[in-house]
Amino acid sequence: MTFLIRTIDHTAAGREIVRDRTLEQDAVTIGRASENDIHLPDLAVEQSHVQLSALDDGALEAEALSGLGFGLDGRTETSARIDPDIGAELSIGSSRLVIGREGVGAPVQITIRQAEKDAAAGDALAGFALASTLPSKRAMAWVLAGVILLLLLSVPIISHLTRSPAENDPQNLSQGQVAFDAAWSTGELSLAHHQLEENCEACHVTPFVSVQDETCLTCHEDIADHAAMPRQAKGMPPMSRGDAIQWSIAESFGKEGPLGCVSCHTEHEGPVALEAASEKFCADCHVALEERLVDVDFGNASDFGDAHPQFRPVIYTAHFADAPARISLEDSPREMSGLLFPHDVHLDQQGGVARMAINLPQYRAPLNCADCHREWTDDTLTAQIEESGGDAAAYGDFAPVNMERSCEACHSLVSGQTGGGFSRLRHGDVSALMEDLSRVSRPGRRSNATRRQRPGQFAPGGRYHSDFGRPMVGYIAINRALAPGGLCTECHIPTTSAGRADLTPVNLPHRFLLQGHFDHDAHSGEIAECSDCHAATGSADAGDLLIPEIAVCRDCHLGESAAPAQGIQPSGCAMCHGYHTPTRPWRPSDHPGHDKDSDNRSVAAILGSLRR
């Protein structure tokens, strides 16, 4: 037998949707289970509820497969005979199945519809529903909206207007000055500001006005501008029309311009740490900066791997220069430090210096770079340098080379023996040196006739003994020490000053790369020897500037977009440069030993700060 199953549904607009399908079989099952021929997803319908079977005379037998039965033309039956030529209506749950046939030999048609709701029955039950005693949904929505506005808008405003005036409170001493202000927060604060979660007034001084730069500087007073604000504004690329419109609207509500603190440092983003600026953040201005700032003295930069200028260290390019100059390594600069120091002689593992160092208890081995260039070891040096008016951050990773610590083991300044000890020539001041040499070279005077001697420490050989002879011998000793080939000119360049022998002042910058940062400690695992980057073993002249060029760094470091590979480290601008403080760049989290807030120092920097 052929069955034509027709399902009629209705859209929300009342339009009918008719779906037909044909079954060629002798029986049709109806139920809630999906494997039935007619699936009725209704909880009032059993899994297998009714089966319609074809009889030999063309009629159908309807039989209930469960104890619930079914409705047939208004009667409840469990079994019945149905003639398709006459027609019948089955009621199963909320569905109505009309059975009929349009003519002899036509398929049996089963039309499925959903029963229409009885409006009268609904009215009869309405009196028992909770909705009959409540206001309408629209009225309740307006009431709840008013309550929310009262609590979250009116109460904070009223409490702000009626409170006593409060000043900026960055130390979080006064909490909860405005009631319900936390409801206005768009999210949690960052980890750096999490202690201010309950003190909105610490940053939001004026209601409905964006946080101002002067408020940020209350705590961050040591933060320096990247450059003067007018110059930064001129160096920025032009904004698109859409960005310009957005900023004009934001500024009308009191927000600082594109160079304000909050334009980069956004809050209420959750308890996260401050992230380093991306390479694009720097490249937006620096990729073509010289087109907008024609007076810049540095090149464009946008990617360390292929769009970065050569390093420009700060060195003294002439003796007696008042200030150092920035010179590109492309120009093969010469450093005029005022010293004569051949690195190759001191680092020769088979030379005379090496043989001398092996016999000294201070070394017991040939010299290496670390014997003179030492990292900071004294934690108290930072405070001592700042007390003397210096800046500890300007010294970099290594302490200045100090003559008394690094050189005197071989280049002795001992001038004699006195008072049970040794006297030394003072180093670092030519006038003091002349006094020491003149005192050492004084001849002894003749004894008086009575042979009487001064007592105690004033006797010959005592600490305060002094001979008053002719000064000519002392002057000769001074000139010999300061002349070419003399004691001082082993390391210093002789000159004359006001007609007398003198030495060329020593000029060594504390840092060579002032606008960038290089952490030697972070590279200690990858670089075995100093000579891997610094060609000191082949340098015979103190004028050789032993700073590696950018090509050496690019062996390992490429731009931020570079693919990580064996020996390649993608490196953004923030790895070497800082925005507010160029010599204090971003500290990557993957370098656990990189945090050098309390730089290790040695006392040698105190002497270095007094360098001529």
Shared-domain flag, residues 175 and 88: no
Q: What is the DSSP letter of 173?
A: -
Nearest CA-CA partner of 263 in 300, 304, 229: 229
Shared-domain flag, residues 104 and 170: no
Select the more confidently predicted residue: 390 or 153. Answer: 153
Domain count, the chain: 3
| Domain boundary residue, one of 430, 464, 490 | 490
Given a cut of 70, whether residue 130 has pLDDT beyond it is: no
**How many whole angstroms separate alpha carbon 104 and alpha carbon 94?**
31
pLDDT of residue 592: 36
As given in the structure block, the two tokens for residue 235 are 């160096």
As given in the structure block, the two tokens for residue 521 are 């400690």
Q: How far, rounded to the nearest angstrom, does the alpha carbon of residue 185 sit from its chain's CA centroid?
A: 25
In a domain, 10, yes or no: yes
**How many whole angstroms separate alpha carbon 403 and alpha carbon 506?**
12
Task: Write out pLDDT tens, residues 22-59.
Answer: 999 999 999 999 999 999 988 889 999 999 999 988 88
Given a cut of 60, whether residue 333 has pLDDT beyond it is: yes
Task: Give the pLDDT mean for 544-571.
Answer: 90
> The dihedral of CA 192, 195, 198, 203: what is its sign?
negative
In a domain, 269, yes or no: yes
Q: Can you give 497-535 as a three-state secondary structure string?
A: ECCEEEECCCCCCCCCCCCCCCCCHHHCCCCCCHHHCCC
Given a cut of 90, whether residue 142 has pLDDT beyond it is: yes
> The dihedral of CA 536, 539, 545, 548: what is its sign?
negative
Given a cut of 60, whether residue 544 has pLDDT beyond it is: yes
In a domain, 289, yes or no: no
Question: Are 400 and 390 spatial neighbours (Cβ–Cβ below 8 Å)?
Answer: no
Task: Give the pLDDT mean for 322-332.
Answer: 91
For the chain, the straight-line distance linking the first and the last C-alpha, in angstroms and rounded, comes to 115
Shared-domain flag, residues 22 and 85: yes
Shared-domain flag, residues 249 and 172: yes
What confidence category does residue 348 fall into, taking pLDDT thresholds of 50, 70 and 90?
very high
Task: Give the pLDDT mean for 458-487.
Answer: 66
Given a cut of 60, whether residue 481 has pLDDT beyond it is: yes
CB-neighbour burial class of residue 387 (10 A; exposed 0-12, middle 13-18, buried 19+): exposed
Shared-domain flag, residues 82 and 22: yes
| Domain boundary residue, one of 101, 117, 133 | 117
Task: Write out pLDDT tens, residues 564-587.
Answer: 887 888 999 988 888 887 776 665
What confidence category does residue 604 fall into, taking pLDDT thresholds of 50, 70 and 90?
very low
In a domain, 42, yes or no: yes
How do beta strands 557-558 and 16-24 pair? unpaired
Shared-domain flag, residues 112 and 51: yes
Shared-domain flag, residues 192 and 94: no
Given a cut of 80, whether residue 489 has pLDDT beyond it is: yes
Task: Give the pLDDT mean for 277-303.
Answer: 90
How do beta strands 557-558 and 569-570 pair? parallel
Shared-domain flag, residues 107 and 207: no
CB-facing half-sphere around the CA of 590: CA atoms within 13 A: 6
Shared-domain flag, residues 19 and 111: yes
pLDDT of residue 461: 61
Given a cut of 50, whether residue 119 has pLDDT beyond it is: no
Shared-domain flag, residues 186 and 264: yes
What confidence category does residue 177 fall into, taking pLDDT thresholds of 50, 70 and 90?
low
Q: Facing residues of 314 across strands?
A: 326
As given in the structure block, the two tokens for residue 2 are 């052929």
What confidence category does residue 593 fall into, taking pLDDT thresholds of 50, 70 and 90?
very low
Q: What percent of the chain has pLDDT over 90?
A: 29
Given a cut of 60, whether residue 6 has pLDDT beyond it is: yes
Task: Write out pLDDT tens, residues 207-253.
Answer: 778 888 988 888 888 788 888 888 998 999 999 999 999 999 988 88
Task: Write out pLDDT tens, residues 295-315.
Answer: 888 889 999 999 999 999 999
pLDDT of residue 391: 66
In a domain, 577, yes or no: no
pLDDT of residue 381: 58
Of 2-16, 53-67, 280-294, 437-451, least confident by mean pLDDT is 437-451
What confidence category does residue 458 fall into, taking pLDDT thresholds of 50, 70 and 90?
low
pLDDT of residue 515: 84
What confidence category does residue 511 fall into, taking pLDDT thresholds of 50, 70 and 90?
confident
Phi then psi for 18, rounded to 5 degrees? -110, 130
pLDDT of residue 117: 62
Task: Give the pLDDT mean for 96-100.
Answer: 91
pLDDT of residue 329: 94
Task: Give the pLDDT mean for 438-442.
Answer: 65
Task: Write out pLDDT tens, residues 396-434.
Answer: 778 778 888 888 888 888 877 766 677 888 888 888 888
Given a cut of 70, whether residue 601 has pLDDT beyond it is: no
Q: Any idea what the CATH number is for the domain that residue 71 is in?
A: 2.60.200.20
Given a cut of 70, whether residue 596 has pLDDT beyond it is: no
In a domain, 431, yes or no: yes
Residue range of the domain that includes 468 = 412-490
Shared-domain flag, residues 179 and 98: no
Q: How far, rounded to the nearest angstrom, does the alpha carbon of residue 219 sit from its chain's CA centroid?
A: 20
Mean model confidence pLDDT for the chain? 81
Select the more confidently predicted residue: 48 or 379. Answer: 48
Select the more confidently predicted residue: 582 or 351. Answer: 351
Q: What is the DSSP letter of 603?
A: T
In a domain, 227, yes or no: yes
**How many whole angstroms separate alpha carbon 538 and alpha carbon 367?**
15
| Domain boundary residue, one of 490, 516, 533 | 490
In a domain, 211, yes or no: yes
Task: Write out pLDDT tens, residues 64-74.
Answer: 988 788 999 88
Question: Are 21 and 126 spatial neighbours (Cβ–Cβ below 8 Å)?
Answer: no
What confidence category does residue 611 fall into, taking pLDDT thresholds of 50, 70 and 90?
very low
Q: What percent of the chain has pLDDT over 70?
A: 80
Question: Are 317 and 327 spatial neighbours (Cβ–Cβ below 8 Å)?
Answer: yes
pLDDT of residue 477: 67
Phi then psi for 85, rounded to 5 degrees? -70, -30
Nearest CA-CA partner of 326 in 318, 316, 337, 336: 316
DSSP 3-state of 153 = helix
